[in-house]
Structure 1
Amino acid sequence: MREGGSILTLNVGSSSLKFAVYEALAGLPLKMEGQISGLNGTPRMRVRVEGATRLDELWGEQLGLEAVLERLFDWLTLDGWTAGLAAVGHRIVHGGRDFRQPRVLCGEVRAKLEELCSLAPLHQPFNLRGVEIVGRRLPSVLQVGVFDTAFHADEPEVVRLYALPRDLIDDGVVAYGFHGLSYDYIAGVLRERDAEKAGGRAIVLHLGSGGSLCAMDRGRSIATTMGFSALEGPPMSTRSGSIDPGVILYLLQSRGMSPAAVSDLLYRRSGLLGLSGLSGDMVTLLASSAPHAKQALEVYVYRIARDIGSLAAALGGLDTLVFTAGVGENAPAIRERVVELCGWLGARLDTAANQAGAGRINAGGEVEILVVPTDEQLVIARGVYGCIQGELAPAAPGAMQKLARSAARQEGDI
């Protein structure tokens, strides 16, 4: 690596782990990127180095996240990617009210983030487990957290409040919003296309295993469908999406379910999986002729379109509609159905462009419709680089490692 060292990014999701290595230089040249999919089953690891496939390996056993991370770091070490490593950046799903900017993950910060695990049980514990493993494997390397909630932190207060007693609001029971790294990246793309308008009144659909929508006014978050937790919004792969709170009371009081059982139901056994009784995987459901699979997709598309209507009302109109993330980028049938239900907003689809996976898929109309691949990894790397530059300007050779050792000593880590 060059004298600036390199930055490793880790993005632990509910079903996959993404990682990448960038040179710690202006422009952040990408050196390597990879993904381990199938975290809930049999993992598969794919790696590309400077655009070429380096590894595509299906692991023949089920492994927990800790074992997956250990095996990943064994490979990173053996392949030379930990040599010259200056910093590791982590996607941290929940930053609560305190963390709105990237932060060095010292002991005090980690302790505060641990307290937020109950608000994002599918992600936060695993994000922090990654921090712990990196600290053990690479104790002298600086670790930085970049927060999914930060993009939405400046939304109007009226958007973030639930109609609950003030003592609960004061204790942090408010809408936070998630998928902020993805929305941050898309906002940047919209600004690059038009620096002044930045998409104008835009609604971005981050549709993956988890899913949410975000209303942006010239790149700034105005409202989003996820709130206090990652359950709110349209149905997801295995998550229920928004439901009447009375259903939860019924399950607890009349069905005698424990809080843990209700949590498991809402996070892991609902959504497309629950509705279809078949799978939470979009490819499987689109290929299925089973009536419940078809109905699950109908509910999914209907709820997305209804949320678009709500967000368009918050914006006072709609100029741009953006599809991103796994389903948004790769499922033209879902895009077509969603746009069809948004005709009243002036959305018109170019069917051929949509099927071809073009970047712009509207056929005239009042709404520009885009398909933009997201890049959360780059947003993490930018956050780490900005944090480094804020601490050290300019960064001399070896200075980032010295900063990491200094921070660790202050926290009693080494």
Structure 2
Amino acid sequence: MADVILSINAGSSSVKFGLHHAGRTGWPSMMASGQIKSSEDGIRLVARDAEGGTALDETVAGADPDAAYERILAWAEDLARPGRLAAVGHRVVHGGTAFTRPARLTAEAVAAIEALTPLAPLHQPLGLKPVRAVAGLRPDLRQTASFDTAFHSTIAPEAARYALPRRLETEGIRKYGFHGLSYDYIAHRLEERWPGTAATRTVVAHLGAGVSLCALEKGQSVDTTMGFSVLDGAVMATRCGSLDPGVILYLLEAKGFTPEAIEHLLYYRSGLLGVSELSGDIRELFKADTPQAREAVALFVRRVAREVAVMATSLGGLDRLVFTGGIGENQPGIRDAVCRRLAWLGLAVDPDRNSAAVERIDTPDSRVEILVIRTDEEIVIARDAARLLAG
């Protein structure tokens, strides 16, 4: 019986993959997880098994992504044993209003996803590359898509609408929200870990190269900080976050920027990189300790804290704050600084627990639970694929 799913998660800063046994109930079980990395010699493929041992460590010569995906597929087929690789599941950032749940990737579905590229010009092509590669390499292997925007389809119309003429909303200009696979995993993890607490007013802060926050009520999204695009909300590695639209008009009219130049500025040259004039990697900014680097970190903290307060407003209060994502999971200094700015809401971090990166890091007298939970988007992709195949 074919019951193994290969998940591919192509993001803006990395490509991750995972191999999972599709269980009949609950989460699939992880067999191995890995990452595609660029190296001087070509494309390096690194994966570890469920026990942390090396499952794959090879370099594919050259820069041909199809060669890398061919090797990953062969590795997955070998590890799964002949005939047991059931499907490849993919993360797709934008599903628009058409894809509000996972979908099988037929030719028609792929065309519809590609048509959404203007809504996510940076991410949509990245998500479709492995889809096309797998289709060319294994045309008979089933493929599925899990959409980041789908989790936020529960947001009420008044929270998803911009104060623009309604005809523009009918043309697709509205809040969509992103990082949905991460929030999906966290929502289910919270219910598993603390059953019966779904009504707890929870804000999840997904802090990585991309940054967004989500207000959860009964495990569903009621608001989020990213909107029409992944440029909105908090400061990110190379993206500016929320910006006065007048700045765009000024750059166009007074500074002679072309739309292409503005796109490059907002996606690749702003955020931590733009303010620090050094790097979009917060680890590098901590090491540099220049005035510009310190200001970039301070701006990042201020904006994240502000967005927590905005999400708490949508919930009518705050009972639980969850940190996840590469920065949220691995930078205790950022967690502490964000919570200090939110002390007026009753947040208090235990420094010893925070530095130890245990699951719960608040003090006994904190009025808000503060958690650190490692997200797992690949297992959500595998779960969605298994459900689609079973249905």
Q: Work out whether 1:73 is the aligned partner of 2:56.
A: no
Within 5 Å, give how 1:35-184 maps onto structure 2: 35-37=35-37, 44-51=44-51, 52-56=53-57, 63=63, 67-77=64-74, 80-81=78-79, 83-84=82-83, 85-184=85-184
State the distance in 2 between where 1:177 and 1:89 align: 21
Aligned residue in 2 for 1:6 = 4
- Contact kept in structure 1, 2:31 and 2:50, CA below 8 Å: yes
1:340-379 equivalences in 2 (<5 Å) = 340-364=340-364, 365-379=366-380
Query: How many residue pairs get matched?
Result: 384
- Deviating above 6 A after TM superposition, structure 1's stretches of 4 or more consecutive aligned residues are 39-42, 58-61
Kindly provide the CA deviation profile for residues 73-115 of structure 1, in whole angstroms up to 9, marking residues without a partner as x: 2244157257432111010100000111111111111111111
Q: Is the 8 A contact 1:200 1:219 kept in 2?
A: no
Determine the C-alpha separation between the residues in 2 that align with 1:310 and 1:268. 26
Give the unaligned 5+ runs of structure 2. Answer: none
Instruction: Please list the CA deviations of residues 293-324 of structure 1 after superposition, one character each: whole Å capped at 9, or x if unmatched.
Output: 00000000000111111111111110000000
The 3-state SS of whatever aligns with 2:127 is helix
Aligned: 1:219 with 2:216: no
Question: Residue in 2 aligned with 1:22?
Answer: 20
Give percent identity, aligned residues only. Answer: 46
SS at match of 1:178: coil
Provide the secondary structure at the position in 1 that maps to 2:388: helix
Change (3 A) 1:59 1:367: farther
Instruction: Name the residue aligned to 1:192.
Output: 192
In 1, the alpha carbon distance for the partners of 2:328 and 2:41 equals 23
Pairwise CA distance, 1:57 = 5.6
Aligned to 1:388: 389
Structure 1 position 315 matched with structure 2 position 312:
no
Q: Which amino acid aligns with 2:371?
A: L
* C-alpha contact 1:6 1:21 (8 A) present in aligned 2: yes
Counterpart mapping for 1:400-411 below 5 A: none
Tell me, yes or no, if the aligned pair for 2:43 and 2:68 is still in contact at 8 Å: no
Q: Distance in 2 between matches of 1:23 and 1:272?
A: 39
CA–CA distance in structure 1, aligned partners of residues 75 and 149 of structure 2 = 35
Match of 2:241, SS state, is coil
Aligned-partner SS, 1:238:
coil
Q: 8 Å contact 1:301–1:334 — kept in the other structure?
A: yes
Give the TM-score normalised by structure 2: 0.94
Gapped regions of structure 1 (runs ≥ 5): 391-414
Secondary structure of the 1:153 match is helix
Instruction: Name the SS for the 2:33 alignment partner.
Output: strand
Q: Partners in 1 of 2:57 and 2:345 — Cα distance?
A: 43
Residue by residue over 1:320-357, the C-alpha shift from the partner in whole angstroms, topping out at 9 and shown as x without a partner, is 00000100000001001001011011111000000011
TM-score, normalised to structure 1, is: 0.89
**1:168-192, Cα deviation, whole Å (9 max, x unpaired):** 1011100000000000000001111
Measured in 2, the distance between the counterparts of 1:23 and 1:138 equals 20
Q: Secondary structure at the match of 2:139?
A: coil
Structure 1 CA distance for aligned equivalents of residues 40 and 149 of structure 2: 25
Q: Which amino acid aligns with 2:9?
A: N
**Alpha-carbon RMSD:** 2.0
Matched position secondary structure for 1:223: strand
In structure 2, the residue matched to 1:298 is: 298
Could you tell me how far apart the structure 1 residues matched to 2:21 and 2:142 are? 15
Alpha-carbon displacement from aligned partner over 1:36-90 (angstroms, at most 9, x marks no partner): 24599986532112321234467897x4xxx235313224415725743211101
Following the alignment from structure 1 to structure 2, what is the Cα–Cα distance between the partners of residues 69 and 358?
39
AA at the equivalent of 1:13? G
Range with greater deviation from structure 2 (192-201 or 372-381): 192-201
After superposition, the Cα gap between the structure-2 partners of 1:361 and 1:41, relative to the gap in structure 1 and judged at 3 Å, is farther
Give, in whole Å, the separation in 1 of the partners of 2:369 and 2:312: 14
